[in-house]
A = this chain, B = another copy of it.
């Protein structure tokens, strides 16, 4: 008998059942993240408990907490990038300021997926080199996509577009971190600050181009 409440393995292929348990583990891990619980101090047993399986069953799906963690980082990074792509698509179909829309989209992600964002934020400077690299990689994708967008809009050269995108992402990401500890009321003020700071960067980069 499975402790995992939903659907005993009757009439299900092994592959289906295995995938379902794997997802239960991943979802449980995400659910356990919060302002005062980081992935780093999350134990294998806690995850197993939340997922409704025995601690030992964990090993049937991941060899390590590290392996699970890297999965989470990938999923969170993907989630974020998809959201930003949608935002750019919306803008392309003619909707408002690029900077403002991007910032608002990002802040929405931070607000509605705080735990996923916290994961990226924390593991970026965590004690596992593998985690740090994984987050770095996600951010590099993020920066690259923005850089391409800038290059297409402004015809600036590779390096300067990349550096500009890098600065923009750094500022936005940092503001997201600040937003986590801010009451809703003060977040708009934060957004205004960020938008202004991003304008500094874009204007400064533009000035360098001509």
Binding site for B on A (CB under 8 A): 35-38, 40-41, 118, 121-122, 124-129, 132-133, 136, 160, 163-164, 166-167, 170-171, 174, 177, 181, 193, 196-197, 199-205, 207-208
Contacts and interface: CB of A to CB of B under 8 A. Distances in A.
Given A41-B127, A129-B35, A174-B170, A200 B204 contact: yes
Main secondary structure of the interface of A (DSSP, over half): helix
A68 B162 CA distance: 41
Copies in the complex: 2
30 contacts: A35-B127, A35-B129, A36-B127, A36-B129, A38-B40, A38-B127, A40-B40, A121-B125, A122-B122, A125-B125, A132-B181, A136-B181, A160-B196, A163-B193, A164-B200, A166-B193, A167-B171, A170-B170, A171-B171, A197-B201, A199-B204, A199-B208, A200-B201, A200-B204, A200-B205, A200-B208, A201-B201, A201-B204, A203-B204, A204-B207
B127 A37 contact: yes
Contacts of A174: 170, 174
B203 A38 contact: no
